[in-house]
Chain A
């Protein structure tokens, strides 16, 4: 089962997703796609670690190439997040740009095929009405396309608003 969780920054996506994971079977894996840059990145990772503490997750840091990922066992997986994964697939360390769409979508399919329940966190970054310069605008469009493709694949889609889950498609596990 694939469940996509979307919502703005600081809308309560992670803590809701973790609560859903607690109702799903063990083992639990947390796939971290964020490369922590600088002090702010380290603080963000630390905040998420504290939220997850005691919830029985094994953390796997993986910044790109989910298509070749092999999970140690079946179980419940929380992948956080598609925004970071898309950026990592799109821009390499030298700043070269490639189209991330296939790699991200195929990567999610590969992970979904290896677990019972996959929760995927993403964000809607296209709602600020600002037109960005070249590669950023490309990124906004690519992430929008990827979100639409993941939604089409997903059994359930939830939008978080101020910590309140709004069901957009299907049902989340009771």
Chain B
């Protein structure tokens, strides 16, 4: 009888059996209804725009078609989706790469070297954790405007690649790596730089992966900053082009086109979530980072 309540170590507080059944029904209904909008958007993207308006809504398309996808890549009325897709990919992957590089470089001395001013710099970085990026968007926009860098990859990538959170996360992680490993490498004649990339970084894969995932999600989904700094359609990223398409196509009921672009914009983040769900959950649970 006692054991009924504590079968696995993970469960701490349990509801009796009949109530568990009711709870199961409830949570299953909730889970399925959470999925419905996503299923709907996918099925809608395989339905022609005319059917979407004239036929009654259904979860599985009556006459499935890939025409919407062909349209958005080829004959779209304003701008095909290929370029925005490429822009989003370039911006996101560069942001991830630069964030990991710059953050691990900055985190290493803060975790492992003793030098004057390290406390001050660390506090300065903690301060950055508390400042919401958005409040400096106006002057950041004016700054990039004054050097003529609006509508460039630089303006899309650089601000996102400076992550006080990343430095903080990696510093904490680097400190958990046994110092002896590093000492051995140093005795073997490795410099600091070589120690970082041959000892510290290979041992920090979980932390780097976690930072990489959240940086990618944040960059791929970033909306307000690209919306502010982009005016040329050939530089636009997927979320921005989507909001422009919406203004142009919703009025004329071109929903099929819009849904196909939406699916294209969502596939990478959904895949990453499904592949790395564990890191995603741990990242939020241990650090309170927002995607």
Q: Do A and B bind each other?
A: no
Please report B residues at the A interface, Cβ cutoff 8 Å.
Answer: none
Residues of A that sit less than 8 Å from B by CB = none
